[in-house]
Amino acid sequence: MPGDDQDLLFGRIAIELKFCTASQVEACLALQAKSEDTMSLGRHLVREGCLNEDQHSRVLERQRIVLHRKRRTPGLTKENLLFGRRAVREGLATVAQVKAALHEQAKRRDGRGLGDVLREQGVLSAAEVEWILQRQCKWIMSCPGCFSTFTVHSSSRNPTKAQCPRCKVPLRPRTEKTEAVAEGEVDTSTRMKPLPRASKGAAGKCKICGHASLSAPAKDGRVECLSCRVRFVP
């Protein structure tokens, strides 16, 4: 696909290695956008004489390394990157602070969100984390019965459809700005793709409802209960 993320990464690496200039990359991206074929940016750069075959191979090798690292880093999920961008755009955190939090998150591998890490590092307050989550259609809600706290995914400004997986009563927006940590994530829609079922014999029960059937872990370490559909860190 012309101009996709991998092409943009290829162009950035080619510029960093000083194999071509930014203007040459932009010109080839423009040619690629007008072309009806599916030729990659790298092949366009070679055809236009901006790269030779050896340079093209070296950029591809560096690109594979970068993509491999991203796939192996739990913190680099779309949700966390969008959260970090919002925090920087609103002036609540710097790029350096977000990068440091992502690095810390990757080392811990405990499935905690970027907002939790930034809060623990003193960059964001609990109220600021909740404000950013709401801009991402996420709400910190609690159960009036067992007082459990959940992150609810909902596009509604008043997400009243979410129920506590334990008590089966409607969750309520959390009014107090405490440092409570969400036990899991609840989705009121079908926007989150279900995680694959765990292999047979895999141990573990849902810590929310006690059901014995869990999904395979996602790349951020979370699993999904196939009964109550809550995602949590086991």
Instruction: Report the DSSP pairing between strands 184-187 and 149-153.
Output: parallel
Instruction: Record the tokens describing residue 65, joined without a space.
Output: 């390394």
Q: Are 116 and 146 in contact (CB under 8 A)?
A: no
Instruction: Record the tokens describing residue 139, joined without a space.
Output: 């709400």
Instruction: Record the tokens describing residue 186, joined without a space.
Output: 């609840």
Instruction: Report the DSSP pairing between strands 172-173 and 149-153.
Output: unpaired
Token look-up 């919002």 returns 86
Q: Are 182 and 172 in contact (CB under 8 A)?
A: no
Instruction: Record the tokens describing residue 229, joined without a space.
Output: 């559909």
* CA–CA dist 234, 228 (Å, integer): 15
Which range marks the domain in which residue 36 is found? 5-72
Element (H, E) at 153: strand 149-153
Q: Which 3 state secondary structure label does DSSP give 156?
A: coil
Residues 70-122: tens digit of each pLDDT: 655 555 677 788 888 889 988 999 988 998 888 887 776 666 778 888 999 99
pLDDT at 56 over 90: yes
Surface-to-core class of residue 41, CB atoms within 10 Å of its CB (0-12 exposed, 13-18 middle, 19+ buried):
buried
Which residue, 21, 53, 72, sits at the end of a domain? 72
Which residue, 136, 162, 188, sits at the end of a domain? 136
* CA–CA dist 76, 91 (Å, integer): 21
Instruction: Record the tokens describing residue 202, joined without a space.
Output: 């895999």
Which residue, 82, 113, 136, sits at the end of a domain? 136
Report the pLDDT averaged over residues 25-51.
Answer: 90
Residues 131-183: tens digit of each pLDDT: 888 777 777 788 888 877 887 876 666 666 778 888 888 887 765 544 556 67
Please check whether residue 59 lies inside any domain of the structure: yes
Please check whether residue 214 lies inside any domain of the structure: no
